[in-house]
Chains A and B, each alone.
Chain A
Amino acid sequence: SQQGEEDPQALSIQEGENATMNCSYKTSINNLQWYRQNSGRGLVHLILIRSNEREKHSGRLRVTLDTSKKSSSLLITASRAADTASYFCATAGGTSYGKLTFGQGTILTVHP
């Protein structure tokens, strides 16, 4: 399976600023998910957007999906130092529900 690409690979911002991360993928999908990973830890599921949805919100998170461009973006508003982590997009497609293909990830650093 092919992995998606994320940009930027690394993002450094100040507390209170917004952080935007982008993800592109190559195959058709059923849904796209965003995960967070603190250094050396497991994954935390943030949000899932289905292929027939264009935008979704959850707290300070906003996700968009453009299936025509095969791309998605994750916006974190009013960032906090605790948001420092790696963020991955992951796509699910085909008949194997739960079999995810992960993007390369964005390392976000929020400076207090």
Chain B
Amino acid sequence: GAVVSQHPSRVICKSGTSVKIECRSLDFQATTMFWYRQFPKQSLMLMATSNEGSKATYEQGVEKDKFLINHASLTLSTLTVTSAHPEDSSFYICSALKTDRLNTGELFFGEGSRLTVL
């Protein structure tokens, strides 16, 4: 099956610094990717939809200036957590949509990135 890679898988940073997480579709092009956030023992919450070549669409309550999303190529979307604070500590997961000629799609998830802000 298709592969979606996230990097880094784990990151620890100091409060106030910015952290970038990458989501790559390794063997297909993805015009649309999604970013989710998951707190311990909770479900996944959609943060934003990342569209190649255009601005991301953020879900209600998600600060776009706090969580910067860039989807500059068909295989890469990045999530930058700016001026991170301990409450931003979470598990961030991306998914990429693989579409075929019939425009039906299949989702593939990355392995997730665990962010710990000290």
* Pair A43/B93 contact, Cβ less than 8 Å: yes
Residues on B with beta carbons closer than 8 Å to the beta carbon of A43 = 44, 93, 95, 109
* Pair B107/A42 contact, Cβ less than 8 Å: no
* Pair B44/A42 contact, Cβ less than 8 Å: no
Which single member of A1, A40, A96, A100 contacts B91 (CB below 8 Å)? A40
* Pair B114/A42 contact, Cβ less than 8 Å: no
**SS of B interface (majority):** strand
Residue-wise interface mask of B (84-106) relative to A, using a CB-CB cutoff of 8 A (1 in contact, 0 not): 00000001010101000000010
* Pair A41/B112 contact, Cβ less than 8 Å: yes
Say yes or no: is A34 at the interface (Cβ < 8 Å to chain B): no
* Pair A98/B105 contact, Cβ less than 8 Å: yes
Chain B residue, CB-CB nearest to A92: B107
Residues on B with beta carbons closer than 8 Å to the beta carbon of A104 = 42-43
Residue among A42, A44, A99 facing the most chain B CB atoms (10 A cut-off)? A42
B residues sitting closer than 8 Å to A (CB atoms) are 6, 32, 34, 36, 41-46, 49, 59, 91, 93, 95, 97, 105, 107-112, 114
A residues sitting closer than 8 Å to B (CB atoms) are 1, 3, 35, 40-45, 88, 96-105, 107
